[in-house]
Structure 1
Amino acid sequence: MINKKSPIPIYHQLEKHIKNQIEKQELQPGDILPSEREYAETYNISRMTVRQAIMNLVSDQLLYRIKGKGTFVMGPKFEQKLQGLTSFTEEMHARGMQTSSKLLQFEIVPAGKELAKQLGIKEYAPVYEIKRIRLAEDIPMALERTYIPANLVMGITEEIVQHSLYQYIENTLHLKIMDGFQLIEAAIANEEEVKHLQIEEHSPILLMQRTTHLENKHTLEVVKSSYRADRYKFMIDLIRY
Protein backbone atom coordinates (compact mmCIF):
# COMPACT_ATOMS: atom_id res chain seq x y z
CA MET A 1 0.00 0.00 0.00
CA ILE A 2 2.93 2.33 0.76
CA ASN A 3 5.41 2.64 -2.12
CA LYS A 4 8.49 4.45 -0.84
CA LYS A 5 9.90 4.72 -4.38
CA SER A 6 6.85 6.56 -5.64
CA PRO A 7 7.09 10.32 -6.30
CA ILE A 8 3.79 10.65 -4.38
CA PRO A 9 4.55 11.70 -0.76
CA ILE A 10 4.14 8.89 1.74
CA TYR A 11 1.71 10.88 3.90
CA HIS A 12 -0.49 11.39 0.83
CA GLN A 13 -0.44 7.65 0.09
CA LEU A 14 -1.57 6.93 3.65
CA GLU A 15 -4.31 9.56 3.35
CA LYS A 16 -5.58 7.93 0.16
CA HIS A 17 -5.54 4.48 1.78
CA ILE A 18 -7.64 5.65 4.75
CA LYS A 19 -10.03 7.51 2.42
CA ASN A 20 -10.50 4.31 0.40
CA GLN A 21 -11.26 2.37 3.58
CA ILE A 22 -13.92 4.95 4.49
CA GLU A 23 -15.42 4.96 0.97
CA LYS A 24 -15.56 1.16 0.92
CA GLN A 25 -17.13 1.24 4.43
CA GLU A 26 -14.29 -0.83 5.82
CA LEU A 27 -14.11 2.01 8.33
CA GLN A 28 -17.53 3.09 9.60
CA PRO A 29 -18.55 6.40 11.23
CA GLY A 30 -17.49 6.28 14.86
CA ASP A 31 -14.78 3.64 14.33
CA ILE A 32 -11.50 4.34 16.06
CA LEU A 33 -8.36 4.32 13.92
CA PRO A 34 -5.13 2.55 14.84
CA SER A 35 -2.72 4.73 16.79
CA GLU A 36 0.09 6.68 15.11
CA ARG A 37 2.53 4.16 16.52
CA GLU A 38 0.59 1.23 15.05
CA TYR A 39 0.47 2.83 11.60
CA ALA A 40 4.18 3.64 11.80
CA GLU A 41 5.10 0.07 12.76
CA THR A 42 2.76 -1.53 10.22
CA TYR A 43 4.09 0.43 7.24
CA ASN A 44 7.61 1.12 8.54
CA ILE A 45 7.19 4.88 8.29
CA SER A 46 7.75 7.71 10.75
CA ARG A 47 5.11 8.83 13.23
CA MET A 48 5.52 12.37 11.91
CA THR A 49 4.45 11.14 8.47
CA VAL A 50 1.44 9.37 9.99
CA ARG A 51 0.54 12.50 11.97
CA GLN A 52 0.61 14.62 8.80
CA ALA A 53 -1.78 12.25 7.03
CA ILE A 54 -4.14 12.10 10.00
CA MET A 55 -4.19 15.88 10.50
CA ASN A 56 -4.95 16.42 6.81
CA LEU A 57 -7.93 14.09 7.06
CA VAL A 58 -9.08 15.88 10.22
CA SER A 59 -8.85 19.18 8.31
CA ASP A 60 -10.92 17.61 5.52
CA GLN A 61 -13.45 16.59 8.20
CA LEU A 62 -13.21 12.90 7.40
CA LEU A 63 -11.78 12.18 10.85
CA TYR A 64 -12.05 13.78 14.27
CA ARG A 65 -9.94 13.50 17.39
CA ILE A 66 -10.95 13.21 21.04
CA LYS A 67 -8.25 14.15 23.50
CA GLY A 68 -7.03 11.14 25.41
CA LYS A 69 -9.16 8.69 23.42
CA GLY A 70 -7.92 8.66 19.83
CA THR A 71 -8.92 9.43 16.25
CA PHE A 72 -12.34 8.45 14.90
CA VAL A 73 -14.14 8.31 11.56
CA MET A 74 -16.44 11.27 11.10
CA GLY A 75 -20.11 10.67 10.39
CA PRO A 76 -22.18 13.04 8.25
CA LYS A 77 -22.78 16.50 9.67
CA PHE A 78 -26.14 17.18 11.26
CA GLU A 79 -28.21 19.43 9.05
CA GLN A 80 -30.52 21.79 10.90
CA LYS A 81 -33.00 24.04 9.18
CA LEU A 82 -33.27 27.46 10.75
CA GLN A 83 -36.99 27.97 10.15
CA GLY A 84 -38.33 26.11 13.18
CA LEU A 85 -38.03 26.64 16.93
CA THR A 86 -37.03 23.32 18.47
CA SER A 87 -34.96 22.15 21.40
CA PHE A 88 -31.78 20.10 21.07
CA THR A 89 -33.63 17.03 22.36
CA GLU A 90 -36.40 17.46 19.79
CA GLU A 91 -33.88 17.91 16.97
CA MET A 92 -31.98 14.73 17.79
CA HIS A 93 -35.09 12.64 18.44
CA ALA A 94 -36.42 13.70 15.02
CA ARG A 95 -33.31 12.00 13.59
CA GLY A 96 -33.93 8.87 15.65
CA MET A 97 -30.93 9.53 17.89
CA GLN A 98 -30.60 9.05 21.62
CA THR A 99 -29.76 12.19 23.55
CA SER A 100 -28.39 12.86 27.00
CA SER A 101 -27.09 15.77 29.01
CA LYS A 102 -24.23 16.12 31.44
CA LEU A 103 -25.18 18.75 33.99
CA LEU A 104 -22.28 20.99 34.92
CA GLN A 105 -24.11 23.72 36.84
CA PHE A 106 -27.62 24.29 38.17
CA GLU A 107 -28.39 27.16 40.52
CA ILE A 108 -30.47 30.27 41.02
CA VAL A 109 -28.48 33.47 40.71
CA PRO A 110 -29.32 37.20 40.67
CA ALA A 111 -29.57 38.61 37.14
CA GLY A 112 -26.84 41.01 36.17
CA LYS A 113 -27.69 44.25 34.39
CA GLU A 114 -27.21 42.96 30.82
CA LEU A 115 -28.94 39.61 31.41
CA ALA A 116 -31.86 41.34 33.14
CA LYS A 117 -32.26 43.56 30.09
CA GLN A 118 -32.21 40.56 27.74
CA LEU A 119 -34.81 38.69 29.83
CA GLY A 120 -37.00 41.75 30.42
CA ILE A 121 -36.78 41.48 34.21
CA LYS A 122 -35.45 43.63 37.03
CA GLU A 123 -31.77 43.62 37.84
CA TYR A 124 -30.95 41.11 40.61
CA ALA A 125 -34.20 39.18 40.00
CA PRO A 126 -33.68 35.40 40.46
CA VAL A 127 -32.66 33.46 37.37
CA TYR A 128 -32.01 29.77 36.79
CA GLU A 129 -28.48 29.35 35.46
CA ILE A 130 -28.09 25.96 33.79
CA LYS A 131 -24.92 24.74 32.13
CA ARG A 132 -25.03 21.42 30.26
CA ILE A 133 -23.07 19.37 27.79
CA ARG A 134 -25.53 18.15 25.16
CA LEU A 135 -24.73 14.71 23.74
CA ALA A 136 -26.11 12.66 20.86
CA GLU A 137 -25.28 8.95 20.87
CA ASP A 138 -22.80 9.80 23.69
CA ILE A 139 -20.88 12.25 21.47
CA PRO A 140 -20.56 15.81 22.86
CA MET A 141 -22.31 18.18 20.46
CA ALA A 142 -22.71 21.44 22.34
CA LEU A 143 -21.87 23.28 25.53
CA GLU A 144 -25.07 25.07 26.49
CA ARG A 145 -25.75 27.82 29.04
CA THR A 146 -29.43 28.57 29.70
CA TYR A 147 -30.89 31.46 31.72
CA ILE A 148 -34.59 31.40 32.70
CA PRO A 149 -36.48 33.80 35.02
CA ALA A 150 -37.21 31.83 38.18
CA ASN A 151 -40.39 33.83 38.87
CA LEU A 152 -41.74 32.97 35.42
CA VAL A 153 -40.97 29.24 35.25
CA MET A 154 -41.20 27.56 38.63
CA GLY A 155 -40.34 24.07 39.78
CA ILE A 156 -37.34 23.34 37.54
CA THR A 157 -35.15 20.65 39.08
CA GLU A 158 -31.87 18.97 38.18
CA GLU A 159 -33.83 15.90 37.07
CA ILE A 160 -35.95 17.96 34.67
CA VAL A 161 -32.96 19.64 33.00
CA GLN A 162 -31.44 16.22 32.30
CA HIS A 163 -34.20 15.78 29.74
CA SER A 164 -36.19 18.36 27.74
CA LEU A 165 -36.97 21.71 29.35
CA TYR A 166 -39.37 22.57 26.54
CA GLN A 167 -41.50 19.49 27.25
CA TYR A 168 -41.69 20.41 30.94
CA ILE A 169 -42.57 24.02 30.16
CA GLU A 170 -45.27 23.17 27.60
CA ASN A 171 -46.68 19.87 28.86
CA THR A 172 -46.43 20.32 32.62
CA LEU A 173 -46.66 24.08 33.11
CA HIS A 174 -48.87 24.58 30.03
CA LEU A 175 -46.95 27.63 28.87
CA LYS A 176 -47.00 28.20 25.11
CA ILE A 177 -43.61 28.78 23.50
CA MET A 178 -44.24 31.09 20.57
CA ASP A 179 -41.12 32.42 18.84
CA GLY A 180 -37.47 33.31 19.17
CA PHE A 181 -34.49 35.10 17.71
CA GLN A 182 -31.19 33.34 17.09
CA LEU A 183 -27.78 34.79 16.31
CA ILE A 184 -25.01 32.56 14.90
CA GLU A 185 -21.33 33.38 14.53
CA ALA A 186 -18.08 31.51 14.05
CA ALA A 187 -15.35 31.42 16.71
CA ILE A 188 -12.35 29.47 17.94
CA ALA A 189 -12.90 27.17 20.90
CA ASN A 190 -11.68 28.41 24.26
CA GLU A 191 -10.18 26.23 26.97
CA GLU A 192 -13.54 25.32 28.52
CA GLU A 193 -15.07 24.38 25.16
CA VAL A 194 -12.03 22.29 24.20
CA LYS A 195 -12.36 20.37 27.47
CA HIS A 196 -16.10 19.71 27.44
CA LEU A 197 -16.59 19.17 23.69
CA GLN A 198 -13.50 16.92 23.53
CA ILE A 199 -12.02 18.76 20.56
CA GLU A 200 -8.55 19.93 19.63
CA GLU A 201 -7.21 23.30 20.70
CA HIS A 202 -8.06 26.13 18.27
CA SER A 203 -10.90 24.09 16.74
CA PRO A 204 -13.67 26.10 15.03
CA ILE A 205 -17.03 26.25 16.77
CA LEU A 206 -20.41 27.83 16.12
CA LEU A 207 -21.61 30.25 18.79
CA MET A 208 -25.37 30.59 19.00
CA GLN A 209 -27.42 32.87 21.17
CA ARG A 210 -31.17 32.36 21.26
CA THR A 211 -33.82 34.49 22.94
CA THR A 212 -37.16 32.70 23.20
CA HIS A 213 -40.58 34.21 23.93
CA LEU A 214 -43.84 32.86 25.26
CA GLU A 215 -47.26 33.46 23.72
CA ASN A 216 -47.87 36.23 26.27
CA LYS A 217 -44.72 38.01 24.96
CA HIS A 218 -42.70 37.36 28.12
CA THR A 219 -39.10 36.32 27.47
CA LEU A 220 -38.72 32.69 28.45
CA GLU A 221 -34.98 32.18 28.13
CA VAL A 222 -31.64 33.28 26.85
CA VAL A 223 -29.53 30.34 25.63
CA LYS A 224 -25.85 30.64 24.76
CA SER A 225 -24.49 27.54 23.02
CA SER A 226 -21.14 26.48 21.63
CA TYR A 227 -21.62 23.86 18.90
CA ARG A 228 -18.93 21.71 17.33
CA ALA A 229 -18.44 23.06 13.82
CA ASP A 230 -17.25 19.63 12.66
CA ARG A 231 -20.64 18.10 13.53
CA TYR A 232 -23.15 20.79 12.56
CA LYS A 233 -24.24 22.76 9.52
CA PHE A 234 -27.27 24.98 9.11
CA MET A 235 -29.61 25.46 6.18
CA ILE A 236 -32.18 28.08 5.33
CA ASP A 237 -34.56 28.45 2.41
CA LEU A 238 -34.34 31.87 0.78
CA ILE A 239 -37.05 33.63 -1.21
CA ARG A 240 -36.41 36.63 -3.44
CA TYR A 241 -39.01 39.27 -2.71
Structure 2
Amino acid sequence: MRSGGEPEPATTKRRAVRRRLLAMLDDLDVGDALPSERRLAEELGVSRPTLRAAIDELAGQGLLDRRHGSGTYVAEPRIAVALTMSSFTEDMIRRGMKPSGRVLSFRTEPAGARIGRRLAVSPMEEVFTIRRLRLADGTTMAIETLYLPKALMPKLRREDLEGGSFYTLLRERGVILASGRETIEPTVTTADEAEVLGVPVHAPAFLFERISRSEQGTPVEYVRSLYRGDRYRLELELKPVPR
Protein backbone atom coordinates (compact mmCIF):
# COMPACT_ATOMS: atom_id res chain seq x y z
CA MET A 1 0.00 0.00 0.00
CA ARG A 2 1.07 3.56 -0.65
CA SER A 3 1.06 6.10 2.14
CA GLY A 4 -2.46 7.29 2.92
CA GLY A 5 -3.96 3.85 2.21
CA GLU A 6 -4.04 4.24 -1.57
CA PRO A 7 -3.89 0.94 -3.51
CA GLU A 8 -0.76 0.07 -5.44
CA PRO A 9 -0.85 0.67 -9.22
CA ALA A 10 -0.83 -3.10 -9.94
CA THR A 11 -3.92 -3.57 -7.78
CA THR A 12 -5.65 -0.65 -9.46
CA LYS A 13 -4.87 -2.09 -12.90
CA ARG A 14 -6.17 -5.52 -11.93
CA ARG A 15 -9.43 -4.03 -10.71
CA ALA A 16 -9.80 -2.07 -13.94
CA VAL A 17 -9.15 -5.19 -16.00
CA ARG A 18 -11.67 -7.11 -13.87
CA ARG A 19 -14.33 -4.48 -14.58
CA ARG A 20 -13.67 -4.64 -18.31
CA LEU A 21 -13.79 -8.43 -18.30
CA LEU A 22 -17.11 -8.35 -16.45
CA ALA A 23 -18.48 -5.96 -19.07
CA MET A 24 -17.26 -8.36 -21.76
CA LEU A 25 -19.12 -11.26 -20.11
CA ASP A 26 -22.42 -9.39 -20.48
CA ASP A 27 -22.19 -9.95 -24.25
CA LEU A 28 -21.19 -13.62 -24.04
CA ASP A 29 -23.13 -16.81 -23.36
CA VAL A 30 -22.24 -19.75 -21.13
CA GLY A 31 -19.57 -21.82 -22.85
CA ASP A 32 -18.30 -18.99 -25.10
CA ALA A 33 -14.53 -18.69 -25.23
CA LEU A 34 -12.65 -15.53 -24.35
CA PRO A 35 -9.97 -14.28 -26.73
CA SER A 36 -6.46 -15.55 -26.11
CA GLU A 37 -4.45 -14.02 -23.27
CA ARG A 38 -2.09 -12.37 -25.74
CA ARG A 39 -4.92 -10.74 -27.65
CA LEU A 40 -6.76 -9.67 -24.49
CA ALA A 41 -3.61 -8.17 -22.98
CA GLU A 42 -3.04 -6.17 -26.15
CA GLU A 43 -6.66 -5.00 -26.36
CA LEU A 44 -6.74 -3.97 -22.70
CA GLY A 45 -3.26 -2.49 -22.71
CA VAL A 46 -2.00 -4.46 -19.70
CA SER A 47 0.68 -7.02 -19.01
CA ARG A 48 -0.21 -10.71 -19.18
CA PRO A 49 0.52 -11.28 -15.44
CA THR A 50 -1.98 -8.52 -14.57
CA LEU A 51 -4.53 -10.05 -16.96
CA ARG A 52 -3.99 -13.54 -15.51
CA ALA A 53 -4.50 -12.21 -11.97
CA ALA A 54 -7.86 -10.71 -12.97
CA ILE A 55 -8.92 -13.89 -14.80
CA ASP A 56 -7.88 -16.03 -11.81
CA GLU A 57 -10.03 -13.86 -9.55
CA LEU A 58 -13.09 -14.27 -11.78
CA ALA A 59 -12.43 -18.00 -12.13
CA GLY A 60 -12.30 -18.28 -8.34
CA GLN A 61 -15.72 -16.64 -8.19
CA GLY A 62 -17.09 -19.21 -10.64
CA LEU A 63 -17.59 -16.73 -13.50
CA LEU A 64 -14.86 -18.11 -15.76
CA ASP A 65 -13.69 -21.64 -16.45
CA ARG A 66 -9.98 -22.04 -17.22
CA ARG A 67 -9.23 -25.23 -19.15
CA HIS A 68 -5.60 -26.22 -19.39
CA GLY A 69 -4.42 -26.31 -22.98
CA SER A 70 -7.76 -25.09 -24.29
CA GLY A 71 -8.52 -21.58 -23.08
CA THR A 72 -10.85 -19.60 -20.84
CA TYR A 73 -14.62 -19.90 -21.12
CA VAL A 74 -17.73 -18.36 -19.61
CA ALA A 75 -18.67 -20.67 -16.76
CA GLU A 76 -22.03 -22.12 -15.86
CA PRO A 77 -23.66 -20.06 -13.10
CA ARG A 78 -23.24 -21.43 -9.61
CA ILE A 79 -26.21 -23.04 -7.92
CA ALA A 80 -27.09 -21.73 -4.49
CA VAL A 81 -27.30 -24.48 -1.90
CA ALA A 82 -29.84 -23.92 0.84
CA LEU A 83 -29.15 -25.95 3.95
CA THR A 84 -32.32 -28.00 4.37
CA MET A 85 -33.26 -31.63 4.93
CA SER A 86 -34.13 -32.07 1.26
CA SER A 87 -32.40 -34.55 -1.02
CA PHE A 88 -30.28 -33.60 -4.00
CA THR A 89 -33.08 -34.71 -6.34
CA GLU A 90 -35.69 -32.61 -4.55
CA ASP A 91 -33.36 -29.61 -4.37
CA MET A 92 -32.60 -29.62 -8.10
CA ILE A 93 -36.28 -30.03 -9.05
CA ARG A 94 -37.13 -27.08 -6.82
CA ARG A 95 -34.56 -25.01 -8.74
CA GLY A 96 -36.10 -25.94 -12.08
CA MET A 97 -33.26 -28.28 -13.08
CA LYS A 98 -33.40 -31.91 -14.15
CA PRO A 99 -31.57 -34.13 -11.65
CA SER A 100 -29.94 -37.36 -12.70
CA GLY A 101 -27.08 -39.55 -11.66
CA ARG A 102 -25.52 -42.94 -11.72
CA VAL A 103 -24.31 -45.36 -9.13
CA LEU A 104 -20.52 -45.64 -9.24
CA SER A 105 -20.31 -48.46 -6.69
CA PHE A 106 -22.78 -50.40 -4.54
CA ARG A 107 -21.61 -52.88 -1.91
CA THR A 108 -22.25 -54.21 1.59
CA GLU A 109 -19.48 -54.48 4.15
CA PRO A 110 -18.90 -54.36 7.91
CA ALA A 111 -19.36 -50.85 9.25
CA GLY A 112 -15.96 -50.68 10.89
CA ALA A 113 -15.18 -48.44 13.84
CA ARG A 114 -15.47 -45.03 12.11
CA ILE A 115 -18.77 -45.61 10.26
CA GLY A 116 -20.12 -47.64 13.17
CA ARG A 117 -19.69 -44.66 15.50
CA ARG A 118 -21.52 -42.36 13.09
CA LEU A 119 -24.42 -44.76 12.59
CA ALA A 120 -24.44 -45.98 16.22
CA VAL A 121 -24.06 -49.61 15.18
CA SER A 122 -21.55 -52.36 15.91
CA PRO A 123 -18.35 -52.28 13.82
CA MET A 124 -19.32 -55.78 12.62
CA GLU A 125 -22.84 -54.82 11.49
CA GLU A 126 -23.31 -54.74 7.73
CA VAL A 127 -23.90 -51.41 6.04
CA PHE A 128 -24.52 -50.39 2.46
CA THR A 129 -21.74 -48.24 1.04
CA ILE A 130 -23.07 -46.50 -2.06
CA ARG A 131 -21.11 -44.03 -4.15
CA ARG A 132 -23.09 -41.93 -6.64
CA LEU A 133 -22.34 -39.23 -9.19
CA ARG A 134 -24.99 -36.50 -9.05
CA LEU A 135 -25.82 -34.34 -12.07
CA ALA A 136 -28.17 -31.46 -12.89
CA ASP A 137 -29.19 -30.72 -16.49
CA GLY A 138 -26.53 -33.23 -17.53
CA THR A 139 -23.66 -31.43 -15.76
CA THR A 140 -21.68 -33.12 -12.98
CA MET A 141 -22.36 -31.55 -9.60
CA ALA A 142 -21.20 -33.83 -6.81
CA ILE A 143 -19.88 -37.19 -5.71
CA GLU A 144 -21.96 -38.61 -2.89
CA THR A 145 -21.04 -41.54 -0.66
CA LEU A 146 -23.95 -42.89 1.37
CA TYR A 147 -23.57 -45.21 4.37
CA LEU A 148 -26.77 -46.94 5.49
CA PRO A 149 -27.41 -49.77 7.98
CA LYS A 150 -28.39 -52.76 5.87
CA ALA A 151 -30.98 -53.79 8.46
CA LEU A 152 -32.93 -50.61 7.73
CA MET A 153 -33.51 -51.48 4.05
CA PRO A 154 -32.28 -55.07 3.57
CA LYS A 155 -33.78 -55.42 0.07
CA LEU A 156 -32.30 -52.20 -1.32
CA ARG A 157 -30.94 -52.73 -4.84
CA ARG A 158 -28.53 -50.76 -6.97
CA GLU A 159 -31.32 -50.08 -9.50
CA ASP A 160 -33.43 -48.39 -6.82
CA LEU A 161 -30.94 -45.54 -6.67
CA GLU A 162 -30.24 -45.03 -10.37
CA GLY A 163 -31.44 -41.46 -10.88
CA GLY A 164 -33.90 -41.62 -7.99
CA SER A 165 -34.21 -39.96 -4.60
CA PHE A 166 -33.05 -41.93 -1.59
CA TYR A 167 -35.28 -39.84 0.67
CA THR A 168 -38.32 -40.85 -1.40
CA LEU A 169 -37.37 -44.50 -0.89
CA LEU A 170 -37.14 -43.90 2.86
CA ARG A 171 -40.58 -42.29 3.00
CA GLU A 172 -42.10 -45.14 0.98
CA ARG A 173 -40.79 -47.51 3.64
CA GLY A 174 -42.17 -45.41 6.48
CA VAL A 175 -38.85 -43.92 7.58
CA ILE A 176 -39.19 -40.23 8.39
CA LEU A 177 -36.11 -38.05 8.80
CA ALA A 178 -36.67 -35.68 11.69
CA SER A 179 -33.29 -34.06 12.27
CA GLY A 180 -29.74 -33.95 11.06
CA ARG A 181 -26.32 -32.47 11.69
CA GLU A 182 -24.16 -31.31 8.81
CA THR A 183 -20.65 -29.92 8.59
CA ILE A 184 -19.20 -28.07 5.60
CA GLU A 185 -15.58 -27.34 4.85
CA PRO A 186 -13.64 -26.12 1.82
CA THR A 187 -11.35 -28.63 0.17
CA VAL A 188 -9.84 -29.54 -3.20
CA THR A 189 -10.39 -32.52 -5.46
CA THR A 190 -8.12 -35.54 -5.51
CA ALA A 191 -7.01 -37.05 -8.83
CA ASP A 192 -9.81 -39.65 -8.65
CA GLU A 193 -12.49 -37.11 -7.73
CA ALA A 194 -11.32 -34.70 -10.43
CA GLU A 195 -11.56 -37.43 -13.08
CA VAL A 196 -15.11 -38.37 -12.05
CA LEU A 197 -16.31 -34.76 -11.91
CA GLY A 198 -14.45 -33.66 -15.05
CA VAL A 199 -12.54 -30.85 -13.31
CA PRO A 200 -8.81 -30.17 -12.83
CA VAL A 201 -6.94 -31.89 -10.00
CA HIS A 202 -6.98 -29.76 -6.85
CA ALA A 203 -10.02 -27.81 -8.10
CA PRO A 204 -11.90 -26.03 -5.27
CA ALA A 205 -14.73 -28.04 -3.74
CA PHE A 206 -17.04 -28.20 -0.73
CA LEU A 207 -17.11 -31.25 1.51
CA PHE A 208 -20.49 -31.86 3.17
CA GLU A 209 -20.83 -34.49 5.88
CA ARG A 210 -24.30 -35.25 7.27
CA ILE A 211 -25.80 -37.60 9.82
CA SER A 212 -29.59 -37.77 9.57
CA ARG A 213 -31.81 -39.18 12.31
CA SER A 214 -35.29 -40.66 12.44
CA GLU A 215 -38.15 -39.46 14.64
CA GLN A 216 -36.87 -41.87 17.28
CA GLY A 217 -33.44 -40.22 17.22
CA THR A 218 -31.76 -43.21 15.54
CA PRO A 219 -29.09 -42.46 12.90
CA VAL A 220 -30.46 -43.39 9.47
CA GLU A 221 -27.67 -42.31 7.16
CA TYR A 222 -24.19 -40.90 7.10
CA VAL A 223 -23.48 -39.05 3.86
CA ARG A 224 -20.20 -37.64 2.60
CA SER A 225 -20.72 -35.38 -0.43
CA LEU A 226 -18.10 -33.53 -2.47
CA TYR A 227 -19.61 -30.62 -4.40
CA ARG A 228 -17.88 -28.76 -7.22
CA GLY A 229 -16.74 -25.38 -5.94
CA ASP A 230 -17.18 -23.77 -9.35
CA ARG A 231 -20.88 -24.72 -9.53
CA TYR A 232 -22.08 -24.16 -5.98
CA ARG A 233 -22.38 -21.35 -3.51
CA LEU A 234 -23.76 -21.53 0.00
CA GLU A 235 -26.83 -19.52 0.88
CA LEU A 236 -27.77 -18.93 4.51
CA GLU A 237 -30.79 -17.14 5.91
CA LEU A 238 -29.77 -15.28 9.06
CA LYS A 239 -32.02 -14.18 11.91
CA PRO A 240 -31.10 -12.26 15.07
CA VAL A 241 -30.89 -14.16 18.34
CA PRO A 242 -34.08 -13.61 20.40
CA ARG A 243 -33.49 -11.42 23.46
Cα distance, 1:157–1:35 mapped onto 2, change above 3 Å: farther
195 and 66 in structure 1: CA distance in 2 versus 1, 3 angstrom threshold: farther
C-alpha separation in 1, matches of 2:116 and 2:68: 37
2:93 paired residue number: 93
- Following superposition, the deviation at residue 60 of structure 1 comes to 4.0
Deviation, 1:56, is 4.5
Aligned to 1:167: 168
1:82-138 Cα shifts (integer Å, max 9, x gaps): 2x2111111110011001113211111111111111111111211111111111112
Number of the residue aligned with 2:81: 80
Which residue does 2:7 correspond to in 1?
none
Query: Matched residues in 2 for 1:194 and 1:209: separation?
Result: 19
> What does the per-residue CA deviation read over 1:173-205, in whole Å, with 9 as the maximum and x for residues that have no partner?
122121111011112222222222222333221
TM-superposed deviation, 1:216:
2.5
Provide closer, same or farther for how the CA distance between residues 135 and 69 of structure 1 changes in structure 2, counting only shifts above 3 A: farther
| SS of residue paired to 2:151 | coil
Question: Which structure 2 residues correspond to residues 1-241 of structure 1 after superposition, within 5 A?
Answer: 18-23=21-26, 26-28=27-29, 30-33=30-33, 36=36, 54-65=55-66, 71-82=72-83, 84-162=84-162, 163-171=164-172, 173-230=173-230, 231-241=232-242
Q: Quickly say closer, same or farther: Cα 1:69–1:87, change in 2 above 3 A.
A: farther
Whether the 8 Å contact between 1:77 and 1:233 is mirrored in structure 2 is no
Contact 1:67 1:199 in 2 (8 A): no
Gaps in structure 2 of 5+ consecutive residues: 1-9
1:217-240 deviations in Å (ceiling 9; x for gaps): 221100001112222223132322
Count of residues in Structure 1 that have an aligned counterpart in Structure 2: 230
Residue 21 of structure 1 aligns with an amino acid whose one-letter code is M
In the alignment, is the contact (CA less than 8 A) between 1:65 and 1:200 conserved in 2?
Answer: no
| Shift of residue 64, structure 1, vs aligned partner | 1.9
Contact persistence 2:186–2:206 (CA under 8 A): yes
1:67 deviates by: 6.6
Q: Which amino acid aligns with 1:63?
A: L
CA, structure 1 residues 101+200, in 2 after alignment: closer, same or farther (shift >3 Å)?
same
Please state whether the residue corresponding to 1:114 is helix, strand or coil.
helix
- The letter of the residue matching 1:19 is L
**Distance (whole Å) between structure 2 residues aligned to residue 145 and residue 157 of structure 1:** 15
CA RMSD, Structure 1 to Structure 2 (Å): 3.3
User: Could you say if the C-alpha distance between residues 168 and 27 of structure 1 is closer, same or farther in structure 2, counting changes exceeding 3 Å?
Assistant: same
**Aligned counterparts of 2:239 and 2:35: Cα–Cα separation in 1:** 45
Gaps of 5+ in 1: 1-7
Query: How many Å separate the matches in 2 of 1:104 and 1:67?
Result: 27
Deviation at 1:148, TM superposition (A): 0.4
> Secondary structure of 2:132's partner?
strand
Does the Cα contact within 8 Å between 1:79 and 1:235 map onto a contact in 2?
Answer: no
Report if aligned partners of 2:106, 2:130 keep a CA contact under 8 Å in 1: yes
CA distance 1:106–1:68, shift in 2 (3 Å): farther
| Displacement over 3 Å in runs of 4+ | 10-18, 34-40, 48-57, 65-72
Task: Provide the rounded CA distance (Å) in 2 between the counterparts of 1:71 and 1:104.
Answer: 30
Percent identical pairs in the alignment equals 27
3-state SS, counterpart of residue 151 of structure 1: helix
